[in-house]
Amino acid sequence: MIALDLNPLLTLFSSIGLEEMGKVRLMNRLDTKYVVSLPVLAEILKCALPDYRIQEIKGQRCPLYHTTYLETQDYAMYLAHHNGKKRREKIRVRTYEVSGISFLEVKNKTNKGRTKKERIQVEGISSLHTEDAEDFLRAYAWYDLSELRFFLENSFGRITLVNHAMTERVTLDLNLYFHNLQTGCDSNLSRLAVIELKRNGRMESPMADIMCGLRVKPCGFSKYCIGTALTSDFSLKKNRFKAKLHMAERLIQQKIII
């Protein structure tokens, strides 16, 4: 059993609102990911207090996100990542539960390791078959809407930090839950956190220093690919993700009371 109440710790951070946060959009950026256990997550937050503010939306500091990923019939986007392609793409609809606003998003990873994201506001997954959404995908995605199907849902709570210099953003995702719309299978990673440092280039970073001090090493971790591997049938290739699945399983099996 896990008892993790981060609220007392989160209230210690100075807050930043959406309007000011818009100055740190970082739609073309370098991402560094980490995966940690819950005790390490709490320690990271304590260390981050002097250098970061926390995003607050309608009084919430860990709002719920819901994402629906689109995929081709032959798993082209999943397999591109699995097979080690440097250039790859993900297409999703993300809903911010606290505001009810949804975006259709296209994320591309370049062969230089940068992440580029384009998005357009939509009314949810039921509104994708519109001229605006189809034009958006034709402009920014590798795939036409007719080639895609709704494939995987996930939800998680997200803590978002921004440094005082407004040059980087850190997202800390916890209570990850997955539902595969094709197999009907569910899975969760509720006993770990996925942390992502987002910045314009390899500039100095308080969070990178914190991770180094706690001996937490970067770890590529795609929520989409791991969720797909956890919930798909045995015929889908998963070899490339076995080490990360085993790591996640070790964290999940920990009996932690905080």
Q: Compute mean pLDDT per 10 residues along the chain, 258 residues long, and list them.
A: 71 91 67 90 96 94 96 95 93 94 94 87 87 93 94 96 90 96 93 88 85 92 93 90 84 54
The DSSP secondary structure of 166-189, one letter per residue, reads SSEEEEEEEEEEEEETTT--EEEE
What is the pLDDT at residue 256?
Answer: 45
Q: Cβ(60)–Cβ(98) under 8 Å?
A: yes
Quickly count: other Cβ atoms within 10 Å of residue 146's Cβ: 8
Q: What is the spatial distance between Cα 74 and Cα 234, in angstroms, rounded to a whole number?
A: 15
What is the pLDDT at residue 252?
Answer: 65
| Global confidence as pTM | 0.88
Phi first, then psi, for residue 167 (nearest 5°) are -110, -5
Q: What is the spatial distance between Cα 162 and Cα 79, in angstroms, rounded to a whole number?
A: 33
Residue 148, CB-side half-sphere exposure with 13 Å CA sphere:
27
Residue position matching structure tokens 């740190």: 24
Residue type, 27: M
Radius of gyration of the chain (CA): 18
What is the pLDDT at residue 223?
Answer: 94
Quickly count: other Cβ atoms within 10 Å of residue 225's Cβ: 24
What is the pLDDT at residue 28?
Answer: 57
- Identify which of 190, 257, 251 has the alpha carbon closest to the alpha carbon of residue 219: 251
Instruction: Give the domain 25-253 fold.
Output: Hypothetical Protein Pfu-838710-001 (2.40.320)
What is the pLDDT at residue 157?
Answer: 95
Phi first, then psi, for residue 256 (nearest 5°) are -120, 130
What is the pLDDT at residue 244?
Answer: 87
